[in-house]
Structure 1
């Protein structure tokens, strides 16, 4: 292999199996940075891209949304970075030295999804180039906790978060804590209860022993205070219906999949709202909130206010990713983020 080529995990065509192949190493253009990837994290979106071609414009395609590494080369006009800097996709967010590349790779997409669901504006409409219902995506429009108006603003107000051991759930719990919510109630298996509590949850309801149909009663035993915010990371029809039943009048339910309750962009009779989160900040409509999020992430990591996910490193570099993507797609990953080391590919 020439020095201008690199190994890459490819999707040859829509729905085809992954293949390890080669791609040329790109040269950064004006305003661009070339990053040498040390760790790549897997997401549910990787499985959807491979099976259905979502967001893929041409083949063969290189999937992947999360990674961390070192700056290798700077394009013309790039300032604030230098070769060797440790960064994570986000866009490029500096990694505090106390975190490994593996840990840093777990952060970008999950953290963006959590933050946008909480702090993005409500009910955005009229977007183009977004699939299906995501054209109306938005968030709960809470003031950000890194602003004077938002830090600890919601003391005494409970929040419910489903899927507290998931990557997104972990970051939602941490941000809800920064926003002052309490109690913070989440669902997780009993084996992941301490993981959810370490992120900031005050109460963990075991979804193996409490069905979503029984979730409203379980929450009512914890708090009688109206719940103004629910972030339904699981977003199954059952979890959404339970969340909608728990939600207080004038409250906001954030869901990660197509809503089956309420109506996007409209308030219900009791002024409850449902918002569908869009986890990317690359679209122009999200640049303002995205830039604000990434500008504060390094500081949140440095203080420990935001912590990475637990990591499970996959074997065999790029060749180990397909089996990992399959596990993620089958819902067989819990309490960890799967990470691969491309440099370990045989």
Structure 2
């Protein structure tokens, strides 16, 4: 099969012919029609990720058809259109992942190739209303957003939600899910154009996180603070989120792209009765809930741009530029 191979830190992806994997007991071989990028892929390429190993086939998100099954795998999956849950071996504690938890694409080969071999328990039927490209855009970002909103923050219809840094895959999926659940959603971004695009998806409005004292300005616009805030940046800007939160609000962050949070004014947290929640990926139950939610709401992930598999390096550079609005997808084998 053809696959994109990363040979080392700061190396470019190389399209090469490699052996097609053979499914072992309980495994499924998926013939991939589409795969989607995540910032994780860029960070691995730059050496900014734990557990690096090379050569490796990157890619956590993928959708396709089941081509072969290993011994003991459910024969009903054969030839079925599926997408892959990339979060594997969560463990028995639903509150947090076990040490054995892994994400597809490192340490095991991922979806940037014509085939991927995974345990059959992580293969799920494709939501009927989605294309392969749309389904490939869903798994990692979708389960991250779903767990942050519903499992961790327990979002309820009618609550006011702020999604920071809108434009990336998880933030947009969180926006779409919150809107579909009946929440009032606002966003932040450094781009006025991205705020307008978010409004087209159902956001009530937004503000630049580069604006001075933006929490106070936004509070005047919306008539108060936010019940739920979804963030991936952390860093120095996190203290602004404490100001933006309503009394009793919940702040969920699933990343720290701006680094660690500096000194936190504790009085703002205890006096406002705030809850600060960390979240990473999701359980198998979260993933099942995500697929049910997406199917019931007929939600369609936003795709920024598609590239052929051979242009995987160009796709990574497009993601690294940070200008995208939605998921970046590789088209692999025609459906």
Classify the TM-score, shorter chain: 0.7 to 0.9
Q: Distance in 2 between matches of 1:39 and 1:104?
A: 8
Residue 164 to residue 58, structure 1, CA distance change in 2 (3 Å): closer
Using the alignment, how far apart are the partners of 2:43 and 2:229 within structure 1?
Answer: 25
2:23 paired residue number: 28
Following superposition, the deviation at residue 154 of structure 1 comes to 4.2
Aligned positions of 1:43-122 closer than 5 A: 43-52=38-47, 54-79=49-74, 81-90=76-85, 91-120=122-151
In structure 2, C-alpha distance between the alignment counterparts of 1:295 and 1:166, rounded to whole Å: 23
From 3, 23, 27, give the equivalent of 1:8: 3
**Alignment coverage as a number of residue pairs:** 291
Number of the residue aligned with 2:270: 269
1:319 corresponds to which residue? 310
- Structure 2 alignment gaps of length 5 or more: 86-121
Q: Pick from 296, 305, 309: which aligns with 1:303? A: 296
Residue in 1 that maps onto 2:110: none
Alignment of 1:143-158 (within 5 A): 153-155=156-158, 157-158=159-160
Residue 338 (structure 1) aligns with: 328
- Structure 1 residue 309: Cα displacement: 1.5
5+ unaligned residues in a row in structure 1: which ranges? 1-5, 121-138, 144-152, 282-289
Q: Deviations over 1:111-162 (max 9, x none)?
A: 1111222234xxxxxxxxxxxxxxxxxx43x16xxxxxxxxx342x321111
Deviation at 1:80, TM superposition (A): 7.4
Secondary structure of the corresponding residue to residue 11 of structure 2: coil
TM-score by length of structure 2 reads 0.77
Which residue of structure 2 aligns with residue 185 of structure 1?
A: 186
Aligned twin of 2:231: 232
> For residues 329 and 43 of structure 2, what CA distance do their matches in structure 1 show?
18
Give SS of 2:280's match.
Answer: coil
Work out the CA distance in 2 between the residues paired with 1:273 and 1:45.
Answer: 27
Structure-1 residue corresponding to 2:90: none
Task: Give, in whole Å, the separation in 1 of the partners of 2:232 and 2:315.
Answer: 21
Q: Deviation per CA, 1:191-230, whole angstroms, max 9, x where unpaired?
A: 334532343312233x2xx624332123212233342211
Deviation at 1:186, TM superposition (A): 0.9
| Structure with a larger share of its residues in strand | 2
Q: Are the structure 2 counterparts of residues 108 and 262 from structure 1 closer, same or farther at C-alpha, using a change threshold of 3 Å? A: farther
Shift of 1:53: 5.9
SS in 2 for 1:292: helix
> Would the aligned equivalents of 1:41 and 1:340 in 2 still touch at CA under 8 Å?
yes
Higher deviation after alignment, 29-38 or 323-332: 323-332
Q: Look up the SS of the partner of 1:269 in the other structure.
A: helix
Deviation at 1:274, TM superposition (A): 2.8
TM-score (norm 1): 0.75
